[in-house]
Amino acid sequence: MKSTLELARESGFAKLSIEAVAARAGVGKHTIYRRWPSRGMLFLDAVLSADTQGLVHPDTGDVVADLRAVMTRACDLLGRPPWGPLYQDLIGEAQHDPKVAAAHHERFVKPQTADTLARLRAAKDQGQLAPDFDLDVAMELLSGPLYYRLLVTQEPLTHDYIDRVLRAVFNGMSPRST
């Protein structure tokens, strides 16, 4: 993993090769191919080896604060090198390789989504969210702007931006007085 990440940081995914990784790691390329069927899958494992423990939602009783904690950690991780460019390359590769896309979804997106939905569900049960609010849509409203900035506009991911997203989303998710 270390050799893959080093090479990807140095020259980007486009120039990453199994041969270069093998040479850097001091092993034969067949050793790498035994474990990873493609450079995309090798790269996926390397990128997903990042410490994502800070992306697990706490439950302090304040759903906005809990979401902010995780979203700002994601912002800090993905908003700058080395992880931002590496994750952008991974998403780019997933557009061309269905196996990378499926593995990324299964190993990263699905667990993150489940964790966020569990936190939102708890907040809904605690009366912090409107009882009829669609939690799947909430998940997409919270994650979509980050991916949009990271992958489409490449505008900075900042804590201020996270705060603006949370304000915009939670104005619509708050319980309404009757």
Domain of residue 120, CATH code: 1.10.357.10
62 and 139 housed in the same domain: yes
Q: What percent of the chain has pLDDT over 70?
A: 94
Q: Residue 130 pLDDT > 90, yes or no? A: no
Q: Looking at residue 12, which CATH number applies to its domain?
A: 1.10.10.60
Q: Residue 28 pLDDT > 80, yes or no? A: yes
Domain contains 146: yes
119 and 148 housed in the same domain: yes
35 and 73 housed in the same domain: no
Q: Residue 63 pLDDT > 90, yes or no? A: yes
27 and 57 housed in the same domain: no
35 and 54 housed in the same domain: no
What pLDDT does residue 18 have? 94
Count Cβ atoms below 10 Å from residue 39 Cβ, excluding itself.
22
Domain contains 70: yes
98 Cβ neighbours under 8 A, 6+ residues apart: none
82 and 157 housed in the same domain: yes
138 and 78 housed in the same domain: yes
Domain contains 142: yes
68 and 96 housed in the same domain: yes
The pTM is what? 0.86
36 and 100 housed in the same domain: no
23 and 64 housed in the same domain: no
143 and 87 housed in the same domain: yes
Q: Which long-range contacts (CB under 8 A, 24 or more apart) does 76-84 make?
A: 77/50, 77/52, 78/146, 78/150, 78/157, 79/150, 79/156, 79/157, 79/158, 81/9, 82/5, 82/9, 83/47, 83/50, 84/150, 84/157
Q: Residue 49 pLDDT > 90, yes or no? A: no
38-52, 78-92, 162-176: least confidently modelled range: 162-176
111 Cβ neighbours under 8 A, 6+ residues apart: none
**Residue closest to 162 by CA, chosen among 173, 152, 150, 174:** 150
Q: Residue 119 pLDDT > 80, yes or no? A: yes
Number of domains in the chain: 2
Q: Determine which helix (DSSP H) or strand (DSSP E) holds 150, and give its type and residue range.
A: none
Mean pLDDT, the chain, rounded, equals 91
- Say if residues 22 and 32 touch (Cβ distance below 8 Å): yes
Domain contains 178: no
What pLDDT does residue 173 have? 62
Domain contains 138: yes
- Specify the 3-state DSSP secondary structure of 95: coil
Phi-psi region of 49 (alpha: psi -120 to 50; beta: other; left: phi over 0): alpha
Domain of 57? Answer: 50-173
Q: Residue 175 pLDDT > 70, yes or no? A: no
Q: Residue 53 pLDDT > 70, yes or no? A: no
Domain contains 113: yes
31 and 76 housed in the same domain: no
- Rounded to whole angstroms, the Cα distance separating 58 from 65 reads 9
